[in-house]
Amino acid sequence: MSFSRAEAFAPATVANLGVGFDILGLAIEGMGDRAIVEFQESSKILISKIEGDAGKLPRDPKKNVASVSASAFLERMGDKRGLRIELFKGLPLSSGVGSSAASAVVTVVALNKLYGEPFSREQLLPFCLEGEALVSGYHADNVAPCLLGGITLVAGITVEAIQPLPIPDNLHLALVTPEIAIPTAEARAVMPSHVSLPTLIHQTGKVARLIDALHRGDLQAMAEAMENDLVAEPARASLMPHLQYVRKAAKACGALAVFIGGAGPTLCALCDAKSVAEKVAGAMKRVYSERELESRALSTRVDRRGSIVINAE
């Protein structure tokens, strides 16, 4: 059954999980974007509304992640019809919670619904990646968990590369996002272009350890692996305000690990209970407020639904 108008929701995501640069990510509850798409007579894609971006996202359909993803989808369908897109940004931009991935995913999931869902969520990956690539190149560590929910390994950029991972029952998260923007391109520019063999051995060992720990539901081992990143955090730490103070404050309240959310500046704490995550979120926010930096904090869990269609007519 096809529709003329559809509305979807896509959750926030946290990429890398410390050691898994560009290959690991998870979706979180409590934050996300919405989009409404509808066919229009003209053959153009029009972004008719964007709310919640303070006017910062490009309205030019060739430069906007949502419309570029939609265009890739329409091209695949061989459809010459035009589209109107309304985007409601619940996610802060350039903040490490997968805002560009959510723009791409929420639009493509709504568009897929217009056609009666010919593609599974996994199969929507390539269209979303076309949009995400505008911002930060081809990597699927935000797009995959945003589409599917849960924790995902994406060892490549193809549909076959997506592997959902187990979610330990007692996994809770605390997030804090200071009010500064770090464009992903800038955070990627500081990454090393090469790593040494000892670093490679260390890093692959920790990624393997993290995945094994997820399978065993061992949060302590997860924490140890996540915080032992020798590649992204050392390169990016200086871009993250007060990282070590936030880490110290979070651990004093019981957090098991603190890691950079994606390209930052969001910082995430791994916790083993809701009460701990709530305390940690408050403590992390206080570190910024004591230093006169606005921030928003969230105590949350892994989202298991991924992107969903809210309604269609």
Q: What residues are labeled active site?
A: 132, 184
Q: Are 2 and 313 within 8 A, CB to CB?
A: no
DSSP 113-175: HHTT--S-TGGGHHHHHHHHHHHH-S--TTHHHHHH-SEEEESSSSGGGEEEE---TT-EEEE
Nearest approach in angstroms of CB 82 to ligand HSE is 29
Nearest approach in angstroms of CB 187 to ligand HSE is 6
> Count of CB atoms within 10 A of residue 150's CB?
18
The contact mask relative to ligand HSE for 205-234 (x = CB under 6 A, - = no) is ------------------------------
Nearest approach in angstroms of CB 94 to ligand HSE is 10
- Please pick, from the candidates 184, 266, 300, 307, the single residue that binds ligand HSE as defined by CB under 6 A: 184
Q: Are 155 and 163 within 8 A, CB to CB?
A: yes
- Please pick, from the candidates 7, 22, 278, 303, the single residue that binds ligand HSE as defined by CB under 6 A: 22
Nearest approach in angstroms of CB 240 to ligand HSE is 12
Scanning residues 230 to 289, which ones bind ligand HSE (CB under 6 A)? 262-263
Q: Considering beta carbons, is residue 24 or 70 the nearer one to ligand HSE?
A: 24
Helices (H), the chain: 65-77, 99-114, 125-136, 143-148, 184-189, 197-216, 219-226, 232-236, 243-252, 274-290
Q: Is 141 in the site for ligand HSE (CB under 6 A)?
A: yes
- Please pick, from the candidates 12, 15, 17, 157, the single residue that binds ligand HSE as defined by CB under 6 A: 15
Residue 13's beta-bridge partner residues? 27
**What is the rounded distance in angstroms from the CA atom of residue 225 to the CA atom of residue 218?**
11
Q: Which residues bind ligand HSE (CB under 6 A)?
A: 15-16, 21-22, 136, 139, 141-142, 184, 187-188, 262-263
